[in-house]
Amino acid sequence: MMVALFDRTLREFELRTTSPKTVRRAARLAETFLERENDAATRSVRDIQTRRLCRTMQYVYRHSPYYREMFNRVGVQPSDIRALDDLRRLPFTTAKDIRDWGRFLCVAEDELAAVFTTSGTTGEPKRVYYSFRDLQTLTNLDAVALRVGHPGRLVTLIALPMSHGLWMGSATAQRVVERAGGLPIPVGADDPQETLKWLQRFEPNVVMSSPSYMTALTREAERAGYRPKLERILLGGEVLTNEQKTRFREYWGAAVYDSYGSTEIGGAQTIALPECTAFNMNDLHLVTEIVNPETGEPADEGELVFTSLTREAMPLVRYRSGDRGRWADCPCPLPFNAVQLAGRTDDMFVAGDMNLFGHVIADAVAKVAGTSGRIVLRLDKAELTDRLTVRVEGRGVSADDVRNPLFAAYPELRVNTANGNLILEIETDVDLGRQIKALKIEDTRKT
């Protein structure tokens, strides 16, 4: 009875056009909840998660042409899914599946309020649609998270890439700060010198950015001798190393928060508090599985698979993220499952604010006259900045011969190398010896 009441009350809050004053009250309630004895809080979360899962199964069967056909094909009824482990009876949803996005929609087109697309791939990007109620849920959730332990001044510099309006991160950050009763300063992530001027003009106490761009901004602030105190730095979009986290904390005097998410699962649906050693999953809105990427069976380390629990427009069931992770114990008081990330299951990697695909780089380099078609992509850090070294086998090939087709394949690569987000080095006429495959990726960055 109490779980049902809590679930219903929480859902009513998630769906409202909530005022900043209400967000602050909700944040205080969240703080009280987190102060409860951890086992009791965890049981409450699990009970709500299970209720929402059962409700989602009924919903997608009634409204999603794709999932109704899937249930019928495998001979499973929505009522058969009564517990988290029952999800294993259903097949996975893949990135290829959702390119046929129309079959996943559960609402009429005139109920769609937003569309976000993925970045970093060639060809047509994946689309993920959201209803107004979906946006309300995400905005309220993130606004409350922003206010937990932070009731006062909230002037937030949003230094996130804004190359197009369909990327979820920059499109939602301003809305979240407004809902939390703060003042957003959305300046983008271009020239760090210009961003530093905005920082000096408005003197924000919170910065939202990516690890790569925050590194470039910190370096620029140090050059200028500008060292104000920030209260919080909120990061996401790529790997945050321990060295970067320490550097930001020491230079800006701020608590550093990290996040992980994707357009498909609803943005940043995890959080790592300053004291966390892993990402805490949002179990009230997601079911997270880890499976062996080859067999699909449950594993302690493997591919992260997600089922959304509150989405209206385009819910996803057992979506294969392509990200690797392992179950972890986190010392923080959050009553959620925790994971540590462990890279990708495919050849995508994130460096300098970009999603890059090894095969796209390999294809571009292979067209250069004089190359053998074999390359090594080496990722490391140079003074906390991501460095991508492209080692190319061949004869009589110059660095510019390789650099130009890379910029053609990824135009944003030119911008990110120019603004200091990414260091690109190219080694040509390399002998790759007995390397069997055309592409080899070496990522030596340590989290």
Domain identity same for 335 and 365: no
Domain boundary among 257, 285, 305: 257
Residue 120: which pLDDT band, with cuts at 50, 70 and 90?
very low
Residue 446: which pLDDT band, with cuts at 50, 70 and 90?
low
Cβ neighbour number for residue 122 with a 10 Å cutoff: 11
Domain identity same for 278 and 292: yes
Domain identity same for 354 and 439: yes
Domain identity same for 386 and 281: no
Tens-digit pLDDT profile for residues 221-252: 999 999 999 999 999 988 888 999 999 999 99
> Which region among 75-79, 172-176, 188-192, 219-223 has the lowest average model confidence (pLDDT)?
188-192
> Which region among 131-135, 287-291, 386-390, 409-413 has the lowest average model confidence (pLDDT)?
409-413
Residue 164: which pLDDT band, with cuts at 50, 70 and 90?
low
> Which region among 86-90, 286-290, 341-345, 400-404 has the lowest average model confidence (pLDDT)?
341-345
Tokens 């210009």, residue located = 194
Domain boundary among 215, 231, 257: 257
Q: Cα–Cα distance between 435 and 269 in angstroms, integer?
A: 39
Q: Which structural domain range is residue 213 located in?
A: 149-257
Q: Cα–Cα distance between 173 and 157 in angstroms, integer?
A: 10
Tens-digit pLDDT profile for residues 57-85: 999 999 999 999 999 999 999 999 999 99
Tell whether the torsion through CA atoms of 351, 354, 358 and 361 is positive or negative: negative
Domain identity same for 185 and 129: no
Domain identity same for 353 and 338: no
Q: Where are the beta strands (DSSP E) in 196-284?
A: 206-209, 232-235, 255-257, 261-262, 267-268, 270-271, 279-281
Does residue 396 carry a pLDDT above 80? Answer: yes
Residue 122: which pLDDT band, with cuts at 50, 70 and 90?
very low
Domain identity same for 213 and 357: no
Q: What's the rounded mean pLDDT across residues 86-98?
A: 96
CATH classification at residue 185: 3.40.50.980
Beta bridge partners of 301: 326
Q: What's the rounded mean pLDDT across residues 101-113?
A: 97
pLDDT at 234: 97
Cβ neighbour number for residue 375 with a 10 Å cutoff: 27
Tens-digit pLDDT profile for residues 346-361: 888 889 988 898 989 9
Does residue 161 carry a pLDDT above 60? Answer: yes
What is the number of domains present in the chain?
Answer: 3
Answer whether residue 239 is part of any domain.
yes
Domain identity same for 31 and 80: yes
The letter for the amino acid at 149 is G
**Cβ contact 19:67 at 8 Å:** no
Q: What's the rounded mean pLDDT across residues 114-142?
A: 84
Domain boundary among 239, 257, 275: 257
pLDDT at 233: 98
Answer whether residue 215 is part of any domain.
yes
Answer whether residue 29 is part of any domain.
yes
Answer whether residue 143 is part of any domain.
no
Alpha helices in 88-210, H assignment, sequence order: 95-98, 132-147, 168-179, 192-202
Does residue 163 carry a pLDDT above 70? Answer: no
Q: Is pLDDT larger for residue 424 or for residue 170?
A: 424
**Cβ contact 240:274 at 8 Å:** no
Domain identity same for 333 and 371: no
Question: What is the residue-averaged pLDDT of the chain?
Answer: 92
Answer whether residue 429 is part of any domain.
yes
Answer whether residue 355 is part of any domain.
yes
CATH classification at residue 28: 3.40.50.12780
Tell whether the torsion through CA atoms of 137, 140, 145 and 146 is positive or negative: positive
Domain identity same for 7 and 92: yes
CATH classification at residue 377: 3.30.300.30
Answer whether residue 410 is part of any domain.
yes
Give the burial string for 63-96 (b: 16+ CB within 10 Å, else e).
bbebbeebbeeeebebeebeebeebeebeebeee
Answer whether residue 26 is part of any domain.
yes
Domain identity same for 269 and 354: no
Q: What percent of the chain has pLDDT over 90?
A: 72
Q: What's the rounded mean pLDDT across residues 139-167?
A: 89
pLDDT at 123: 54
Q: What's the rounded mean pLDDT across residues 309-326?
A: 96
Question: What is the pTM assigned to this prediction?
Answer: 0.86
Does residue 95 carry a pLDDT above 60? Answer: yes
Inter-helix orientation angle 399-409/411-418, to 10°? 110
Domain identity same for 314 and 364: no
Residue 121: which pLDDT band, with cuts at 50, 70 and 90?
very low
Residue 329: which pLDDT band, with cuts at 50, 70 and 90?
very high
